């Protein structure tokens, strides 16, 4: 156990279920769920990079674009993701004013939570820095990413990305 709250563990398990669905569809197992206080999960999404044949169909962006969280204060929402949000997604989450992010696997390649340390960047995004907790159920997330490497036809770039993620997990 990584010292996370039972609530964080429960919602990360839901993100992992969505990641498993992504894997079954041949997608990278990056998935996220959006949680509103008193309502539980209000949205879930997983990356669809391979299906859409682009590199920006990230789970976090899809949640923000299609979220039914209309009328819910954005700063009260928590996003749970199997992978640390990239720079693009971190900026989008700040712009939208999401209150908190919990992620599983840290991403040394493109993880964007370091942006939260730069108040100028936060101000440029027009939102606010969010609280975040990383490493929640990271080993479980890593196992799904390892399974992704066994899928047929995974592009070389994605294979390299996942291998770096898994290697960095082994080093920590």
Catalytic residues: 60
CA–CA separation, 134 vs 116, rounded Å? 14
Alpha-carbon torsion angle 96, 31, 62, 58, nearest 10: 90
CA–CA separation, 127 vs 49, rounded Å?
A: 27
List, in sequence order, the alpha helices (H) in the chain. 6-24, 49-52, 59-66, 87-96, 119-124, 138-148, 156-171
């Amino acid at each position: 156990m990584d010292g996370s709250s039972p609530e964080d563990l429960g919602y990360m398990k839901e993100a992992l279920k969505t990641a498993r669905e992504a894997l079954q569809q041949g997608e990278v197992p990056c998935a996220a769920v959006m949680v509103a206080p008193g309502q539980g999960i209000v949205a879930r999404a997983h990356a669809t990079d391979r299906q859409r044949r682009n590199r920006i169909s990230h789970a976090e962006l899809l949640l923000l674009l299609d979220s039914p969280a209309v009328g819910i204060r954005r700063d009260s929402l928590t996003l749970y993701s199997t992978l640390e949000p990239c720079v693009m997604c971190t900026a989008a989450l700040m712009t939208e004013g999401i209150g908190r992010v919990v992620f599983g696997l840290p991403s040394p390649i493109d993880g964007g939570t370091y942006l939260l340390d730069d108040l100028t960047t936060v101000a440029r995004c027009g939102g606010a820095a969010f609280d975040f907790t990383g490493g929640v159920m990271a080993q479980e997330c890593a196992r799904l990413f390892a399974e992704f490497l066994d899928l047929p036809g995974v592009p070389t770039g994605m294979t390299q990305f996942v291998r770096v993620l898994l290697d960095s997990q082994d080093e920590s």
